[in-house]
Structures are given as C-alpha cells and as structure tokens.
C-alpha cells in the first residue's frame, strides 16, 4: 500500500499560502527552532532548495511560531518556512522526531523518510535527488558535518499540545457540545453563572482534560451508563468524564464514579426521591475491595472528612452528574428544607484490614477480591458516638446503641429506616477483647438497649411527634407497655469499619425512608475492564 500523507495548507513567513500536495515532487522537512539537530540540518535543506528547487518543491514546516523567523535569519534561509505553530500538521503526519524528512514523488507517494541527522542518509538523499531530477548535486561540505546527531521530540508531543490535538481530531470519542467563551471572560465565573457548579469552583473541562479523563475507563465515550432523574438526562461516559473533570477527579477514579452512578440510578435507590425530598437526603458512597488502595482512597485517619482527593472528588462528581445531567438542582426539583453538607460529597473506603468482620461487599454477596461501590441514602451524619470509658464489649455495644437513638428523633422507634454505622478501630478492639463479637451480635445489642415501651412514643406536651393520643387511647394500657427497639429489624443497621487507631469515636449516618416508599441501598461491582 502506497505511503501517502494528509493534505495541508499553511502560511509562510512571507504571508504566502502553500498547499500540499502541489505539482511535482516534494521535499517536506519538519523542524523546530530550539532543536540543535534541526539547526544542523537547516543549511543542508537550504542547499537542496537552491540546487533542486526548479524541479522540487522544498518546504520547511516550522513548529516554533514566531521563532521560525529566528531560524530563518540565523541560517539566511530563502526556502519557504511554513507556520505549524498549532502543530496540527505535525499531528496529522504523525511526526515523532525533528528534523523529520519526507521525499515525496509527483504521485504523492513517500519515497524516503528519515529522522534526526545521519550524514549518510542526507548524502544519499542528495545523490538520489540529483539523479532522478537530472540536476547537479547540491554543493555541501559533507565532511564538515557530524556523522550522526539524534533529533528532538516533535513539539506536538508535548502533553499540553498533544491532548488538545487528540481531543479535536476527526473521529474523536467526544461529541458533547462545546461552549465558546470570550477571551476576556473568566472561565471559573462563567461556570458559576451557567449554574454548572455546586457552589464551589470547578476545574474547566477543556477537551484535552476530558480526553485524559476518558482514558481512565475502557468504556467508549458514547456508551450510555444511566438515564438520570429527574429530567431523565442521558449520562454517557463522556458526560460523566466532563463532570469528573469539573469535580477535580483523576482518570483512574472513573470506574468508581461509573459504578456509583449506575447504583443511584436504579429504581431501588430512587435518586429522584433522594434529590427531591425536603428532608435533605444525599448519597453516601462506601467503596470496598482492591480499588481503594489502587486509587489512594482514605479509609483511616480522617476517612469521613477532608484532605483526600479520591474521597472528596468521587462523591462530588456523582453530585455534579445528578445536577448537570439529571437536572437535580437546588431550587428546582431539589427542595431540601435545610440542605445537607453531604450534598457536596460523601465517599469513603472501608478499612477492611482493620476489621475482624467480613467487609460490607462480602456481606452483600460479592467476593473479597471484587471492587464494589455501595450507596446509601442518608439525611444526617456523620454523628459521633462517644465512649471513652467502657472496657467491656457489651458496654461499648450498648453505647453505640444509645448513640443511634437519635436517628430521626429519640422517641421515634420501630423505624424501617437505614442507619450506616461506622465503627472506629479502638471500639473494635474493645468489642473483640473477650473473643469474637460478630456484626449480628452488635446489631442485636443495639436493638436490645434501645427497647422502650410504646407509651414513650405517644405524642405529649413535650413533643407532638409519635403516636397520636387518640390512637394510643384505642391501643389500651397493656398494649402501650409493649417494648419495641429503635429499628424495625436488624437488617436496617449497616456496619462498616473506618478511621485511625487513635480515638474512641464511632459515627453514624441517619437514613431516609427505606424500602419502596423511599430508598434501598444498592451495590455495584466496579468494572475495571
């Protein structure tokens, strides 16, 4: 198959337009001004132009913009020097090293191509051109030139240039509408004005940044991942990548973000209801498996707080997708009375290595070596449960139970409401100090210590919440003596381990409505290709 090169049209230093291909054979040489080897080659190319220019179009393609003129003046060049400052032609021709030399015949087929400066190659090219063009050889003192000198990397391969060129290339995996911003506009302020932000500054999603983000997944940019309520926007991989860029993510976070979005867009999780409720619910993301360490997630000191890029930006990316793709924005469908800091982000990794129990994803039916994302709809937290004095397992478990009485309201019990309990390592040590203390035993202890008679749930002068007085009267005194626990069943208590080894402070997230009327926790395996 003939080796041909793409067409181009470039302006020379004199302002003339030179198009390729033109009539007859061509010698096209790519250079940049700050390359020492290009400076060695430039006088040789000029000699070729003077010797063979009547029958051969000699074009020097310069990557250095205004500095092409410096190269011209330094070597007194008279041949056309074409401006490829954008490096688009260098990209299209797949240049890797400069100088890069192409002798192309009248039919447009590359006859000779070489890079750098190997004197024998240049000398042979001169001889071949002289013979084929039937012209005297160029007058060059070959012995004064180095026998070999390596070339330099093409300028278009600089990351800040190459990624931009790839993003705009024909056949790019990116189809999202591009917004042109006036040069005088502040991009950060523009994104605020357009409503793209969650209230914090965003990273501008330039094509090159989005392209790099797409490299974090094996999925095609136009693969549809989810239809996002409430506006039922189509979240393609490309749109996820755009929001991941704005959130400040790294490309390697993409599989986790995709899995989290898949999870929240299920009917079971009901992201529409989570977004719309006035109660202020928000997704909490728990990550398990090898992906935690692979992308540098925090599972220890400060796991539920600030300071870790993966934790912070994965959760933020999910929230931006719900807002920007799904339309779930405050003041619109989102009608939270007070709001919730978790609506910015809440994502952390379970400290499986510090846990004596099966990790969350194994409890939910996955293999330990799987990487899994689990999402919960939570309205409050993390709320500290403080017990620095207890030394017996049942004491610590009892304190944890008492700490969970505040879910919704202490007097409200027998609730079909999820709670996500995050047990710290020091509390784990106390729980395990007399032998195995299982999750099921902890759940049972929580239910035991929170049992209260129904009579304490009746609305009264202190609080009108709870069982209406009229209903309580119909129940009768005997029924009101029945004791009920905080939660409708132990299955509503979800337990993970996180945090550092110092500090006897566990935490709890308080759930929203659970089940078909609200939201159910959902797990998704991370697709790592």
* 112-163 pLDDT per residue, tens: 999 999 999 999 999 999 999 999 999 999 999 999 999 999 999 887 788 7
Nearest-angstrom CA–CA distance, 180 and 73: 38
H or E, element range at 293: helix 291-294
Nearest-angstrom CA–CA distance, 68 and 432: 73
Contact 228, 235 (CB under 8 A): yes
Note if the bond before 99 is cis, omega within 30 degrees: yes
Domain ranges of the chain: 8-157, 187-450+485-525
Nearest-angstrom CA–CA distance, 440 and 508: 17
Segments of 117-205 assigned E as strands = 117-118, 148-149, 152-153
SS3 314: helix
Output the six-digit token pair for 390. Answer: 């207890």
Max CA separation in the chain (angstroms): 119
Nearest-angstrom CA–CA distance, 220 and 68: 40
Q: What's the Cα-to-Cα distance from 69 to each of 65, 78, 79, rounded to whole Å?
A: 8, 11, 12
Question: CA angle, 75 as apex, 69 and 76 as ends, to 5°?
Answer: 75
- CA-based Rg of the chain, rounded to a whole angstrom? 34
Question: CA angle, 165 as apex, 115 and 92 as ends, to 5°?
Answer: 45
Nearest-angstrom CA–CA distance, 423 and 292: 18
Q: What's the Cα-to-Cα distance from 93 to each of 28, 67, 452, rounded to whole Å?
A: 11, 21, 78
Where b means 16+ CB within 10 Å and e means fewer, 396-416 reads bbbbbbbbbbebbebbbbbbe
Nearest-angstrom CA–CA distance, 61 and 45: 12
Residue ranges of the chain with per-residue pLDDT less than 70: 1-2, 170-175
156: Cβ contacts below 8 Å, ≥ 6 apart: 63, 87, 88, 90, 91, 95, 162, 165
Nearest-angstrom CA–CA distance, 217 and 49: 49
What is the predicted pLDDT for the residue at 172?
A: 60
What is the predicted pLDDT for the residue at 171?
A: 53
Nearest-angstrom CA–CA distance, 270 and 512: 11
DSSP state of 218: S
Phi, psi of 459 (to 5 degrees): -60, 140
Nearest-angstrom CA–CA distance, 345 and 245: 15
Phi, psi of 383 (to 5 degrees): -105, 125
Nearest to 400 by CA among 378, 424, 416: 424
Please check whether the domain covering 8-157 is classified as CATH 3.30.465.10.
no
DSSP state of 186: -
* 233-270 pLDDT per residue, tens: 999 999 999 999 999 999 999 999 999 999 999 999 99
H or E, element range at 122: helix 119-133
Nearest-angstrom CA–CA distance, 459 and 462: 8
Phi, psi of 369 (to 5 degrees): -80, -5
DSSP state of 472: H
């Amino acid at each position: 198959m003939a080796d041909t090169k793409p067409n181009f049209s470039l302006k020379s230093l004199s302002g003339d337009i030179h198009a390729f291909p033109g009539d007859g054979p061509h010698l096209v040489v790519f250079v940049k001004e700050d390359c020492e080897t290009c400076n060695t080659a430039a006088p040789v190319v000029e000699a070729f132009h003077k010797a063979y220019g009547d029958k051969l179009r000699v074009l020097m393609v310069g990557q250095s913009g205004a500095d092409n003129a410096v190269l011209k003046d330094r070597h007194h060049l008279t041949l056309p020097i074409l401006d490829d400052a954008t490096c688009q032609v260098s990209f299209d021709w797949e240049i890797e090293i400069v100088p890069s030399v192409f002798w192309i015949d009248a039919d447009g087929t590359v006859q000779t191509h070489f890079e750098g400066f190997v004197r024998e190659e240049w000398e042979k090219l001169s001889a071949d051109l002289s013979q084929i063009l039937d012209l005297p050889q160029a007058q060059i003192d070959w012995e004064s030139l180095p026998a070999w000198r390596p070339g330099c990397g093409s300028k278009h391969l600089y990351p800040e240039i190459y990624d931009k060129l790839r993003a705009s290339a024909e056949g790019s995996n990116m189809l999202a509408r591009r917004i042109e911003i006036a040069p005088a506009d502040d991009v950060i302020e523009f994104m605020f004005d357009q409503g793209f932000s969650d209230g914090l500054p965003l990273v501008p999603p330039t094509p090159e940044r989005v392209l790099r983000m797409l490299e974090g997944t094996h999925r095609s940019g136009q693969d549809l991942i989810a239809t996002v309520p409430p506006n039922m926007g189509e979240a393609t991989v490309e749109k996820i990548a755009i929001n991941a860029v704005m959130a400040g993510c790294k490309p390697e976070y993409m599989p986790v973000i995709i899995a989290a979005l898949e999870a929240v867009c299920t009917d079971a999780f009901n992201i529409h209801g989570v977004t719309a409720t006035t109660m202020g619910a928000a997704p909490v993301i728990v990550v398990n498996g090898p992906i935690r360490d692979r992308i540098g997630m925090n599972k220890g000191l400060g796991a539920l707080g600030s300071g870790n890029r993966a934790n912070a930006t994965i959760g933020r990316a999910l929230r931006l997708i719900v807002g920007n793709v799904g339309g779930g924005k405050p003041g619109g469908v989102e009608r939270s009375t007070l709001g919730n800091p978790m609506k910015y982000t809440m994502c952390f990794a379970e400290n499986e290595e510090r846990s004596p129990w099966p990790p969350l994803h194994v409890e939910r039916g996955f293999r330990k070596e799987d990487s899994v994302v689990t999402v919960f709809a939570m309205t409050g937290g993390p709320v500290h449960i403080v017990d620095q004095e207890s030394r017996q397992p049942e004491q610590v478990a009892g304190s944890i139970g008492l700490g969970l009485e505040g879910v919704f309201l202490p007097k409200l019990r027998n609730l079909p409401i999820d709670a996500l309990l995050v047990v710290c390592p020091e509390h784990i040590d106390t729980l395990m100090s007399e032998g195995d203390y299982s999750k099921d035993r902890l759940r049972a202890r929580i239910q035991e210590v929170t049992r209260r008679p129904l009579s304490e749930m009746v609305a009264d002068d202190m609080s009108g919440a709870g069982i209406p007085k009229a209903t309580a009267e119909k129940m009768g005194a005997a029924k009101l003596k029945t004791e009920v626990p905080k939660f409708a069943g132990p299955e509503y208590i979800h337990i993970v381990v996180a945090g550092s080894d110092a500090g006897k402070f566990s935490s709890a997230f308080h759930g929203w409505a659970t089940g078909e009327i609200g939201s159910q926790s959902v797990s998704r395996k991370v697709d790592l290709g």
